[in-house]
Amino acid sequence: MGELGFVGLGTMGSRIAKRLLDAGHSVTGYNRTKARAAWLLDAGMRWAESPRAVAEASEAVFSMVTDTRALNAITSGEDGIIAGLRPGAIYVDMSTVSPEASRAVAQQVAAKGAAMLDAPVSGSVVTLEQGNLSIMAAGDRDTFERAKPYLLAIGPKVNYVGDNGLAVTMKIATNLSLATQMLAYSEGVLLAEKAGIPRDVAVEVLLNSVMASPMVKYRGPFVLQMPDEAWFDVDMMQKDMLLALELGRQLEVPLPTTGLTNEFLTAARGMGYAERDFAALFDVLSRMAGVER
C-alpha cells in the first residue's frame, strides 16, 4: 500500500481520493477550503497545511484542479507541490489544462529528480462512483507502470497514450464532443416536443435509440430535472472548448461544431447559467425556441 497525497478535493477529486482510501492506501490531502474535505478526514485521510506538505509526506502525489492557473498555483512557489517532491517520487496531475503548461510543469518536476504523468479522467460523478471511470495517462513509460496500480484503484480502464502533454490533449479531444453531443441531443428533444410529443416521452425514446452515448444516457435526463449540484458546469466546459479551439488553431484542424457549441456556452453564461451543469445548453435552445423548461 502506498503513501499517497492528493491536492484539490473538489467534486471529482474528493471522490477519487476516497477510492484510493478504500483501496487501502494512506492518503494525505490538501484543499484550499478545508471544510470541503471534512468527510474525507472522517474517512481516514490525513490533512496537510499546504501542497508542499502533501508532497513531502507522499511517494506519489495526485492533483485535480480547475484550470491551468490553478495548476500553476498548487505546483509553484515555496508552498507548492514541486518544492516538496522527494527524489524518485511520482506526481500525477489529473486536471484538464493546457498541454503546453502541463509539459512545462513536467520539466520542473524532472529537475527535482521526480517524474510526472498527466492523467485526466473521462467520466462523471456517476461513472466514478460506479467504478467505471476511464483514465488516460502520458509521460515516461516506466513512471506510468509504477503508477498504474494506483490508477487502477481509481478506475478499471487506464490507457497509456505517449509523452507528457498527450493525455491532456486526448482529454480535450474527448471533451469537445461531450458538449456538441449535448447540443445535438437538446435539438432533438425540442424538435419532438414542439411537434407535440411530451418531453419525457421524447427523452425516453432518444435514450433508448442508437444515438444514446454513455454521456447522453446519464446526462440526458437533465432536460427534465437538473441536478442540485453541477456535475460539470458551463464555465468548466467552456474552458475545455477554448483549449480545444486553441489546439485546433495550432494544429490546423478545423473544429466547426466545437466553435458553434462554444457560442452556445457563451450564451448560457450570458443567461446566468455559468455555474449550472453544461446540460444548460438545453435551456439556451429552449428559450430560443419559446419552450418552457
pLDDT tens across 141-160, in order?
Answer: 999 999 999 999 999 999 99
- In this structure, the number of other CB atoms found within 10 A of the CB of residue 189 comes to 23
Instruction: Tell me the CATH number for domain 169-289.
Output: 1.10.1040.10
Is the pLDDT at 293 greater than 80? The verdict is no
pLDDT tens across 185-221, in order?
Answer: 999 999 999 999 999 999 999 999 999 998 999 899 9
Residues in the chain: 293
- In this structure, the number of other CB atoms found within 10 A of the CB of residue 44 comes to 11
Is the pLDDT at 168 greater than 90? The verdict is yes
Contacts of 68 (CB under 8 A, 6+ apart): 97, 98, 101
The predicted pLDDT at position 11 comes to 87
How would residue 1 be classed by pLDDT, with cut points 50, 70 and 90?
A: low
Q: What does the H/E/C string look like for 133-157?
A: CEEEEECCHHHHHHHHHHHHHHCCE
Claim: this prediction has a pTM higher than 0.85: yes
Is the pLDDT at 22 greater than 80? The verdict is yes
Let me know if domain 3-164 sits in CATH 3.40.50.720. yes
Percent of the chain with pLDDT over 90: 89
The predicted pLDDT at position 176 comes to 94
The predicted pLDDT at position 17 comes to 96
Spell out the domain ranges in the chain.
3-164, 169-289
How would residue 2 be classed by pLDDT, with cut points 50, 70 and 90?
A: confident
List, in sequence order, the alpha helices (H) in the chain: 11-22, 38-42, 51-56, 68-75, 81-84, 99-111, 125-129, 141-154, 166-195, 199-207, 214-219, 234-251, 256-270, 281-289
State the amino acid at position 155 in one-letter form: G
Mean pLDDT of 262-286: 97
Averaged pLDDT score across all residues of the chain? 95
Mean pLDDT of 223-249: 94
How would residue 18 be classed by pLDDT, with cut points 50, 70 and 90?
A: very high
Q: Which of 1-5, 6-10, 52-56, 248-252 has the lowest average pLDDT? A: 1-5
Mean pLDDT of 108-131: 90
Instruction: Look up cell 484543499; give the residue.
Output: 31
- 29: its cell numbers: 490531502
The predicted pLDDT at position 129 comes to 80
Higher pLDDT, 267 or 129: 267
